[in-house]
Structure 1
Amino acid sequence: MQRTSYRPIDCLHFIDGRFMPSLNGKTFANMNPATEETLGTVAEGGAEEVDLAVQAARRALNGPWKKLSANERIAIMRKIGDLILERKAELAALESLDTGKPLWLSESVDIPRAAYNFHFFSDYIRTITTEATQQDDVALNYAIRRPVGVIGLINPWNLPLLLMTWKLAPALAAGNTVVMKPAELTPMTATVLAEICRDAGVPDGVVNLVHGFGPNSAGAALSSHPDVNALSFTGETTTGKVIMAAAAHSLKRLSFELGGKNPNIIFADSNLDEVIETTLKSSFINQGEVCLCGSRIYVERAAYEPFLDKFVAKTKELVVGEPFAEKTKVGALISEEHYERVTGYIRLAVEEGGTILCGGKRPDGLDTGYYLEPTIITGLDRKCRVVNEEIFGPVVTVIPFDSEEEVLEQVNDTHYGLSATVWTNDLRRAHRVAGQIEAGIVWVNTWFLRDLRTPFGGMKQSGIGREGGLHSFEFYTELTNICIKL
């Protein structure tokens, strides 16, 4: 068994360039979901700590950060990305300790992508231009960009560092200052990120970090703070609605990436071996705790049985185990509460008439930790809760279909609209079907392939707005039109 040489860390707030405990001294325990052991303590912040952080961010916005040139900001951002890569092994270990995900996944995806977010946006900011319009011979109009102001960044627990840097990098590139609120379940890499920002030369107060919970805690205080100009939130849809209500009184600018119940449509003419290889990932990577996972699988009837035979066989080969073991493909779920929620849906699937083809239980020999075998369910009606509600675990349903019209009706019959995948070798069908799916991103013959210049976000209750490339800067900047009479 491979084990990490990096020790867990206790997590303090980072406000105005220094680490500090909560003003009242309160802390909470950070738990390891793979062992159920305490990793360390976390400072529990609330309204007072959030207010200190927002005040620091406001001072920095109109102070040292504003005085830096774009080239100076870009150099600092590139340094942040470089330092993330220099500390890759440490960050990957902390991420796997916090989340229960396999170490190889943290090392190969989470941490490299976190660094790339900074490198990408530091390069992309150089390409941003604004419009100029000549109004006959009467006037010349041109637009200038300026930072929105103080940004609140509220982050989920499934991809902690990757998603925090996805927000932080464009916010800083645009000249904003920030207050970060990581998920209470995964505080460690956010704490190291604050240290990295300081070491890279970010002025005091530009990047602030407050740990804590959501309701009646740091999250609620950040959402409702009158001096926070915008909020970017990634997480569960119900929480997004609460944040939106809290932000309404000050009309904060909002960017939400929320839940998903994403379809994976497999036509009979597709390459089944390629489909299986990718569908294993889109179903079960990161324990299925990815908002983009394809948890509703629809297979054209001619390929239904062959797909199921191969998919079940390959799923049974996936090794569920301790995150730092080399052979582990599926780690532990994030918490006991989440484990009970996911397994509750599996019990519900049986009550609703479903058949568990594989998985659905704790693996043998793993009596401690929140482990669950990857689970494939068939025989459910399209109206069943298990088919319609986000489970956010290693659980998928598989349903046959007979026509494009039928599958599109089922695919779009949902409150969600984050992503979808279409598998076919028919070029016309690929364009035809992809163009009718109500989702923010549709992959054809692939999954999780991202060009960071492209728009990313969800429709319906899967989100508000788009991020990526210019779309991120549209959120993190304000435009002023200047009209010059000629």
Structure 2
Amino acid sequence: MREYKNFIDGRFVEGPEAFADIDPATGRQVAWVHEADAGLVDRAVASARAALEGAWGRSTVAERCSLLRRVADEIDRRADDLLAAEVADTGKPEAGARALDVARAAANFRSFADIMAAEGVESFLQDLPAGQQALNYALRKPLGVVAAIVPWNLPLLLLTWKVAPAIACGNAIVVKPSEETPGSATVLAEILDAAGVPSGVYNVVHGFGAGSAGQHLTTHPDVDGVTFTGSTATGAGIMRAVAPRVRPVSFELGGKNAAVVFADADLDETIAGLTRSIFANTGQVCLCTERVYIERPIFEEVSARLVDAAQKLRLGAPADPATTTGPVISHGHQQKVLDYVELARRSGATLLTGGEPATVGDELAGGFWVEPTLWTGLGNDDRVMREEVFGPVAGLVPFDTESEAVALANDTDYGLAAAVWTTDLRRAHRVAGRMEVGIAWVNTWFTRELRSPFGGFGLSGVGREGGRHSLDFYTETTNVCVAL
């Protein structure tokens, strides 16, 4: 059986104990994962620090950008290996994982190579008394040793979204992938090594959160910053852990995202877009829509068409080209999603479709399957409409006026994403601009320009990633002032 070992200072290292890696499509074990204890985390952080103090700390921007492009080429060459690891860990359909997760991994490295190569520095000519001047200019310096905690929903995509800018800026990084999805971070270690990334620049420690590798890493005194994507509760714990040392953090913590559908929307485009935004990756995307507000004159039609679209989704084996929808990540998460559905029922919801564990055949009977689920009859005061479920579910709610729709969409403790569906150009700009979110889409969903800012308001996180915004987190800036 496959083994996933820790990767420290350019070498794969066994841990004192190992745990099982489970395929969520079948419920069967696919690998053993070596858990890192505090001693191995110490070694990983020390190797990262040594790399910074060695030749890597003197690397030039041109050298790092060239390295990133070699990494992207190696990802392309090893695409099948990354795909196999990703699918075994997540159960997602192969076609989608190849087109999104693996392709985006290579794109992240190429994009940040281009972004870093084009990045300049601020400079200001300052007038001084007696006709003299001073030149002020800024220098970007690596943040240092960066801890990256990566989630299980898009493990490769979000891993490379952090690793690429960290390396571009000259940092050394210690990654703790989710215990549910250890494969792609381990395969990426082989890829980075083959591309020529120096020892100690990229390290992987496997394990869990509290009392394991995650806690050891985020509380380590020699870590200079933490980037984390995951739950609000875990993010709050990490923030408390780093607060005494005043370390910078970059957090993306999910959302309870809204879509607003106006009566003038192109309904064919809208239904297709909503089907994606509710059910993509089995609803396990931080940007997925869980609240759909629909203008009353079209509420019944949109609801019926969404039910029809949900019932046409094909749950099945990842390798089957007909499969559109995979399992949820684990038995525990399956139960969490189903518990929320039951909460919706008890709160008075009318289930339009789904709401049960899905039946997908004998071969996949041990997997963690949930039927695509839609309900009506609940409002923003109901708990299930306020808390992130992170599964293939959404509540549908009618509205009567534009101002009501905006108020409903913004009535949340989160603020990551929203989508507005309308053919009225003025309304589109007006409503999108009033959404209290990090990204507001109009007549689309999940379209990402990698140079644009990405992050959230409120419980959805701290900071922004993407383009120069990523560089701002992964560097410290020094102003140099020279009297002329």
**Aligned mate of 1:410, from 408, 411, 420:** 408
Q: Verify the 8 A CA contact 2:144 2:172 in the aligned structure 1.
A: yes
1:474 corresponds in structure 2 to 472
Task: Report how far residue 282 of structure 1 moved.
Answer: 0.5
**Aligned mate of 1:344, from 339, 345, 353:** 339
Q: Distance between the aligned counterparts of 1:165 and 1:129, measured in 2?
A: 23
The secondary structure found in structure 1 opposite 2:380 is coil
2:222 is the alignment partner of 1:216 = no
**Aligned mate of 1:283, from 246, 270, 278:** 278
Q: Distance between the aligned counterparts of 1:471 and 1:336, measured in 2?
A: 37
2:184 is the alignment partner of 1:184 = no
The secondary structure found in structure 1 opposite 2:434 is coil
Q: Deviations over 1:352-406 (max 9, x none)?
A: 0001101111233443211111001111122111111100000011000001111
Q: Deviations over 1:428-482 (max 9, x none)?
A: 1111111111100000110000111100000001010001101000111111011
1:238 corresponds in structure 2 to 233
Q: Distance between the aligned counterparts of 1:418 and 1:46, measured in 2?
A: 34
1:43 corresponds in structure 2 to 34
Task: Report how far residue 70 of structure 1 moved.
Answer: 2.0
Give the gaps of 5 or more residues in structure 2: none
Count of residue pairs the alignment pairs up: 477
2:481 corresponds in structure 1 to 483
2:223 is the alignment partner of 1:228 = yes
Task: Report how far residue 254 of structure 1 moved.
Answer: 0.3
Deviates more, 1:154-163 or 1:307-316: 307-316
**Aligned mate of 1:16, from 3, 9, 13:** 9
Sequence identity percentage:
50
Task: Report how far residue 71 of structure 1 moved.
Answer: 1.9
Q: Deviations over 1:237-265 (max 9, x none)?
A: 10000000011111111000002000010
Q: Verify the 8 A CA contact 1:145 1:480 in the aligned structure 2.
A: yes
The secondary structure found in structure 2 opposite 1:19 is strand
Q: Distance between the aligned counterparts of 2:145 and 2:420, measured in 1?
A: 40
Q: Distance between the aligned counterparts of 1:97 and 1:61, measured in 2?
A: 34
1:328 corresponds in structure 2 to 323
Task: Report how far residue 68 of structure 1 moved.
Answer: 2.6
Task: Report how far residue 45 of structure 1 moved.
Answer: 0.9
Q: Superposed, which structure 2 residues align to 1:149-228 within 5 Å?
A: 149-228=144-223
The secondary structure found in structure 1 opposite 2:97 is helix
Q: Verify the 8 A CA contact 2:59 2:170 in the aligned structure 1.
A: no
Q: Verify the 8 A CA contact 1:12 1:211 in the aligned structure 2.
A: yes
**Pairwise CA RMSD:** 1.0
Q: Distance between the aligned counterparts of 1:484 and 1:70, measured in 2?
A: 24
The secondary structure found in structure 1 opposite 2:414 is coil
Q: Verify the 8 A CA contact 2:81 2:187 in the aligned structure 1.
A: no
The secondary structure found in structure 1 opposite 2:238 is helix
1:396 corresponds in structure 2 to 394
The secondary structure found in structure 2 opposite 1:213 is coil
Alpha-carbon spacing, 1:394–1:481, altered in 2? closer, same or farther (3 Å): same
Task: Report how far residue 427 of structure 1 moved.
Answer: 1.2
2:438 is the alignment partner of 1:443 = no
Q: Which amino acid aligns with 2:3?
A: D
Q: Which amino acid aligns with 2:252?
A: E
Q: Which amino acid aligns with 2:228?
A: F
Q: Distance between the aligned counterparts of 1:10 and 1:417, measured in 2?
A: 39
Q: Which amino acid aligns with 2:72?
A: G
Q: Verify the 8 A CA contact 2:113 2:168 in the aligned structure 1.
A: yes
Q: Which amino acid aligns with 2:183?
A: M
Q: Verify the 8 A CA contact 2:78 2:191 in the aligned structure 1.
A: no
Q: Distance between the aligned counterparts of 1:466 and 1:209, measured in 2?
A: 24
Q: Superposed, which structure 2 residues align to 1:57-456 within 5 Å?
A: 57-136=48-127, 137-366=132-361, 367-456=365-454
Q: Which amino acid aligns with 1:119?
A: R
Q: Which amino acid aligns with 1:112?
A: A
Give the gaps of 5 or more residues in structure 1: 1-7
The secondary structure found in structure 2 opposite 1:295 is strand
Q: Verify the 8 A CA contact 2:416 2:455 in the aligned structure 1.
A: yes
The secondary structure found in structure 2 opposite 1:343 is helix
Q: Verify the 8 A CA contact 2:337 2:391 in the aligned structure 1.
A: yes
Q: Distance between the aligned counterparts of 1:222 and 1:293, measured in 2?
A: 30
Q: Verify the 8 A CA contact 2:92 2:281 in the aligned structure 1.
A: yes
Deviates more, 1:148-157 or 1:74-83: 74-83
Task: Report how far residue 84 of structure 1 moved.
Answer: 0.9
User: TM-score, with normalisation over the residues of structure 1?
Assistant: 0.97
Q: Distance between the aligned counterparts of 1:120 and 1:461, measured in 2?
A: 28
User: TM-score, with normalisation over the residues of structure 2?
Assistant: 0.97
Q: Distance between the aligned counterparts of 2:117 and 2:35, measured in 1?
A: 39
